[in-house]
Amino acid sequence: MRRLEIRLVEGKGRGVFTTKNIKNGEIIERAPFIFIPGSDREFIDETALVQYYFFIAGGNIAIALGYGSLYNHSSEPNSKFEQIKDMMVFSARRNICRGQEITVDYTGGGQIDLGFTPRL
């Protein structure tokens, strides 16, 4: 059985939901990412990918694979993420019950800056 699934969320589009309980601190996903040089950002900004990239070290950007670029924003997220080498690692900030949407905080709070302004 898959642990994550995509569902439509009114007012947000797609969202990522869990099909199993996830414990506080548990890793939800290790998402590899596609590295994009910062010099290519102006081209990416003219595409639909503008809403899916993360800023990473050196002014470069990255598109997280897997579910990584699909988690929706919450000002009280139930998960957090960090860049570890060439992966975005998403983990639970608290227990997440089966059927709940997994959310992250796009606006900061010590997390990686995203390359777009979220629809809050």
Which of 83, 91, 80 is CA-nearest to residue 61? 83
pTM, rounded to two decimals: 0.80
Domains and their CATH numbers in the chain: 4-104 (2.170.270.10)
Average pLDDT over residues 4-26: 94
Residue appearing with tokens 């590295």: 35
Question: Does the pLDDT at position 110 exceed 50?
Answer: no
pLDDT digits (tens, 9 = 90+) for 46-67: 999 988 887 777 888 888 899 9
Q: Give the pLDDT score at 119.
A: 42
Which amino acid does the sequence have at 33?
Answer: F
